[in-house]
Amino acid sequence: MRKRSDFLAANRGLRVARPGFVLLANPNGGPAGGKGKRFGITVTKKVGNAVIRNRMKRRFRELLRDALPQEGLPDHDHVLIGRDAGIERDFAALRAELSAALERAREGKSDPRRGRRPKRGARGGKPSQAGKSRK
């Protein structure tokens, strides 16, 4: 997957969180669309510098190429979102987590979505002091 719209569409599907990554799985149009099993990888700048992010992407790419043919959901887009814990995680542990996440997605079980954090104050800084008396 290369288009941003595909990644945004995948975000509407199943979400399975693991310590090293979050797996998103979303149907991509079925046999008529002919897209089959596709995957995408994203690692944000919050995780580390470019070297670390690229290392994570290479590891995720290898995991997905190995696991998706046998364990992936047919006619679905699979997206892995990297987490901090996935940086130095053992490859075998990541592989086991991916298998468990794909099994959970195959069963149609999704983890609850985290709610957005409420905005702090008017400009995202400290909470507003309105209504508090100063001494």
DSSP state at residue 116: P
DSSP conformation letters of 68-90: HHHHSPTTEEEEEEE-GGGSS--
End-to-end CA distance of the chain: give it in Å, rounded.
58
Q: What is the pLDDT of residues 64-86, one digit of tens each?
A: 999 999 999 999 999 999 999 99
Report the alpha-carbon distance of residue 84 to residue 49 in Å, rounded: 12
C-alpha to C-alpha distance for 14 and 86, rounded to whole angstroms: 20
Residue with the two structure tokens 């957005």: 116
Tell me if the pTM is above 0.85: no
pLDDT digits (tens, 9 = 90+) for 15-46: 999 999 999 999 988 666 667 899 999 999 99
